[in-house]
Amino acid sequence: MDAKDRLIVGLDVPTVNDAETVVRELGETVDFYKIGYQLAFAGGLEFARDLAKDGKKIFLDMKLLDIDNTVASAVENIAKMGMTMLTLHAYPKAMRAAVEAARGTDLCLLGVTVLTSMDETDLIDAGYEYDPHTLVLRRAEQARQAGMGGIVCSAEEASAVRKIVGAEMAVVTPGIRPAGADKGDQKRVMTPAEAIRSGASHLVVARPIIRASDRLEAARSILAEIRNAA
């Protein structure tokens, strides 16, 4: 893949106007954007449709989880929106329902394993019996068996996940921080080059670009690092 197909810029901004500014500043340099809860609930879903119509790729980060019929119905409608990627929590029943609903479309379904803001203590507090690494690998195998298009995991787990899911599935890694960048609320992070060398197919980068004084230069720098690491 070209580096432009591997960099996903997270539009983690409060308004559509803010998102439009980011997209305008990045221009043709960036082709792939993530839209999550914050922007989705501020008019971002219509904005996502508009971006898709303009030829941009959209990773809709909704982390779906519900009864099978509800998940399937949501996936069917999201596929009609022209989205490129969609996340759901990597629970086997939900994944199987989503895969069946997306059959025959171009929508790539991604199973979210363990959020990059969570560590072992957080999982224990949430009632899980597994440490993050073990739970990520368990869910990666379940996603592969369900026929999912890819996995979302920390870059720290990308190498081990790649061995489980093989060469064809996407391995999407958030929590990417260039060397020296502030980690923010992320606990399991890597640089772009480290993530690519670990087996990531796509990198989600938000704050290091959208909060940069020169967003275009920040994006170009990360794209160059991706190209050099590939």
As annotated, the active-site residues are 63
186 is an annotated ligand-binding site residue: yes
Task: Check the annotation: does 142 bind a ligand.
Answer: no
6 is an annotated ligand-binding site residue: no
In one letter, which amino acid is 31? D
Provide the 3-class DSSP secondary structure of residue 147: coil
C-alpha to C-alpha distance for 181 and 41, rounded to whole angstroms? 28
Q: Where are the alpha helices (DSSP H) in the chain?
A: 3-6, 16-26, 37-39, 45-53, 68-80, 92-102, 120-125, 132-146, 155-165, 192-197, 207-210, 215-229
For the stretch 40-74, pLDDT in tens is 999 999 999 999 999 999 999 999 999 999 999 99
Q: Annotation-wise, does 7 bind a ligand?
A: no
Q: What is the pLDDT of residues 119-131, one digit of tens each?
A: 788 887 888 877 8
Fold for 3-229, please state it: TIM Barrel (3.20.20)
Rounded Cα gap, residues 209 and 42, in angstroms: 21
**Inter-residue contact 229 to 193 (CB < 8 Å):** yes
Looking at residue 33, its pLDDT comes to 98
Q: Are the C-beta atoms of residues 5 and 55 closer than 8 Å to each other?
A: no
Domain residue spans in the chain? 3-229
Which residues are 33's β-sheet partners? 9, 58
